[in-house]
Amino acid sequence: MAKINAHTLAGWPVKTLRRLAGIPATRGNRVSSCVGATLRGQRHPPAPPGAGGRRNAGWQQQFVAAVRQCAGRAA
8, containing H or E segment: strand 8-9
Give the pLDDT band (50/70/90) at residue 66: very high
12 forms beta bridges with 9
In this prediction, residue 10 carries a pLDDT of 61
| pLDDT tens per residue, range 4-59 | 555 555 666 777 877 888 887 777 788 888 999 999 988 877 777 777 667 788 88
Pairwise CA distance, residues 21 & 14, whole Å: 11
Amino acid at 26: T
Identity of the amino acid at 41: G
| CA neighbours closer than 13 Å in the CB half-sphere of residue 50 | 0
